């Protein structure tokens, strides 16, 4: 389950949001490389956050069909870390050690579980 890069939710939001072409171009490159080379991953949390944002709050709101297509073509192929008791325990350890918020700790724990180095 090892991957070099862990991609956070914001990258996918920038990928879909054309209001800042520079950020969108960087996000496009990151997502394209991740899908092409299989060297990056996401967790269930990133998938949930991304879908919630694009369906409700993003500057570019997707309809259900568009969100489903994005899920199937971009998010699902990158999903490598699912929820587990061990993941939550590791997130609590990260939070205790580094004093991050819980959801940030959960992202760090997922990246560690996937063996990510960046």
* Model confidence pLDDT, tens digit, residues 19-48: 999 999 999 999 999 999 999 999 999 999
Q: Is residue 89 part of a domain?
A: yes
Considering the domain boundaries, does residue 95 fall inside one?
yes
Domain total of the chain: 1
CA distance 97 to 95: 5
Structural domain of 104 = 5-113
Angle between helix 102-113 and 85-98 (nearest 10): 120
pLDDT for the residue numbered 57 = 82
- Residue 118 is assigned to a structural domain of this protein: no
**68: in domain:** yes
* Predicted TM-score of the model (pTM): 0.94
Per-residue pLDDT, 109:
98
Which pLDDT score, from 0 to 100, does residue 79 have?
Answer: 98
Residue 60 lies in a domain: yes
């Amino acid at each position: 389950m090892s991957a070099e890069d862990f991609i956070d939710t914001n990258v996918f939001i920038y990928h879909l949001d054309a209001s800042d072409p520079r950020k969108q171009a960087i996000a496009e490159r990151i997502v394209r490389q991740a899908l092409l080379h299989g060297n990056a991953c996401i967790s269930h949390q990133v998938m949930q956050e991304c879908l919630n944002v694009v369906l409700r709050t993003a500057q570019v709101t997707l309809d259900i069909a568009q969100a489903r297509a994005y899920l199937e073509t971009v998010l699902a192929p990158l999903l490598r870390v699912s929820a587990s008791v061990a993941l939550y325990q590791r997130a609590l350890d990260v939070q205790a050690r580094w004093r991050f918020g819980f959801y940030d700790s959960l992202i760090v724990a997922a990246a560690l579980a996937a063996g990510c180095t960046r």
